[in-house]
Amino acid sequence: MAFHALVTRYGSFALAVPALIWQVCFLYLPVIFVLSDSFLSGSGSLWQRLSVEHYAVIVDSLHARVMVRSLVQALVVACSCLLIGYPVTYLCALKARRLKSIFLFLLMLPFWTNILVHIYAWFFVLERNGLINSILMRLGIIHEPIAFLYTNAAVTLVMIYSYLPFMVLPLLSALEKFNTTLIEASLDLGATPTSTFFNITLPLTMPAVRTGFFLVFVPVFGEYAIPTLVGGGKSLNVGSMISAYYLEARNPALGSAFTVVSSMVILVVVWLLYYLLSGPKRAKEHA
């Protein structure tokens, strides 16, 4: 086959090769290693080593509780980001024409700084002699410093702060190109501003809401740095559990099994949430 024909036939595929190599080396291969670690034990031939004994260890109430705790954590953070992010983004995109860039800069700031930097910045705010405690003491509201650090509340707070940009960015791109004449049309037809929001604006920006929700939900489920540093490693979640198996217990087999199970769980949950967030309207349309 002539070179030219090869290029026209496989040319577009060739463009994907660098990305594919990257994906294969740093995603698919590691996933295969994790999978094989989780299903192999003892010695002998491959067939003899095949077993589900690691999974038998993993499937118990302790691990289930860790997973549920992480799911709840992810749900709380994702919902909070949505409830904080949507109104702010709405104002930015549709109302505050001139202050928009300043708003956005402040919102995006955590996105541009290293995660460790802003986690430690929160230490100065939350610690015993930190900003909040000194202000409260100075004002005479409290007499003993409150232990904010190493609590679940602190972990949630820092997570919301760190993940807010992931919610705001897709919402912003959707709301910025939102046709505001549709809002005017709805008001014109007699709908109140509130009912206009729920009938028109929200349904039409639902794809962005979904994207933002999953961009927060999925990584928070496996988040490792924030619970470990801000939470002080006091309560186990999926991220710290996996790292404990690999790095502390030196048991990659159990770590892998747990990783596989938690990945399955998040896949199923995301799939369920996807349909939940599509809303009943869309389902009717397809029927």
* Interface residues toward another protein, by CB under 8 A: 179, 181-182, 184-193, 195, 199-200, 203-204, 281
Q: How far is the CB of 82 from another protein (least distance, A)?
A: 20
Integer Cα distance of 75 and 91 in angstroms: 24
Exposure string of 77-114, with b = 16+ CB inside 10 Å and e = fewer, is bbebbbebbbebbbebbeeeeeebeebbeebeebeeee
Nearer to another protein, 250 or 284 (CB): 284
Tokens at residue 205, please? 């920006």
Nearer to another protein, 183 or 254 (CB): 183
User: For residue 198, with 0-12 CB atoms within 10 Å meaning exposed, 13-18 middle and 19 or more buried, which class applies?
Assistant: exposed
Alpha-carbon gap, residue 266 to 269, rounded angstroms = 5
- Between 133 and 211, CB nearer to another protein: 211
Assess contact for 42 and 48: CB atoms under 8 A.
yes
Nearest to 256 by CA among 70, 69, 67, 39: 39
Report, in Å, the least distance between residue 97 CB and another protein.
Answer: 11
Shortest Cβ distance from residue 196 to another protein (Å)? 8
Question: Closest CB to another protein among 19 and 287?
Answer: 287
Comparing CB distances to another protein, the nearer of 101 and 195 is: 195
The structure tokens listed for 62 are 């302790």
Rank residues 89 and 186 by Cβ distance to another protein and give the closer one.
Answer: 186
Min dist CB 200 to another protein, Å, is 6
Q: Which residues contact 23 (CB under 8 A, 6 or more apart)?
A: none
Q: From the CB of 281, what's the least distance to another protein, in Å? A: 7
Closest approach of another protein to the CB of residue 148, in Å: 44
